[in-house]
Amino acid sequence: MTTHTSRSRRGEIFVTDVSFLTPQKLQLLEAIKKYPKSIRELVKKVGGDVKNVYLDIKELEKAGVVKLKTSGKAKKVELKLTSETKNSALLS
């Protein structure tokens, strides 16, 4: 598996290869940046179907960019990027 991120000594995650970030994944990151949402809420926001959004989220999670948290029956998605990266041109 290709590594798309690196971790600093302080544990911050930096995206080192953005080639895996499709327009759909960037749209998901924009939606997640505003506030953590469940996968179903993200599907309503960005369109598509639950399966494809879930697969994109899982790929972003493997890259270390987001984290899935179970909250009751829903899975909430949170960004794991540094504050600098959250505010970068990539997600502005």
Over residues 15-71, the pLDDT tens digits come to 556 677 888 988 998 888 887 688 888 999 899 899 999 999 998 888 878 888 887
Q: Are 87 and 33 in contact (CB under 8 A)?
A: no
* Cβ neighbours of residue 14 closer than 8 Å, sequence gap 6 or more: 5, 6, 7, 8, 82, 85
- Tokens 């327009």 -> residue: 23
Q: Residue 2's pLDDT band (boundaries 50, 70, 90)?
A: low
Catalogue all structural domains in the chain, each as residue range(s) with its CATH number: 5-91 (1.10.10.10)
DSSP annotation string for 52-85: HHHHHHHHHHHTTSEEEEEETTEEEEEE-B-HHH
CB distance 29 to 65 below 8 Å: yes
Residue 69, CB-side half-sphere exposure with 13 Å CA sphere: 10
- Name the residue with higher pLDDT: 36 or 72: 72
Quick one: pLDDT at residue 69? 84
Q: What is the pLDDT of residue 51?
A: 94
Say yes or no to pLDDT of 1 above 50: no
> For position 53, what pLDDT does the model report?
92
Arithmetic mean of pLDDT, 79-86: 56
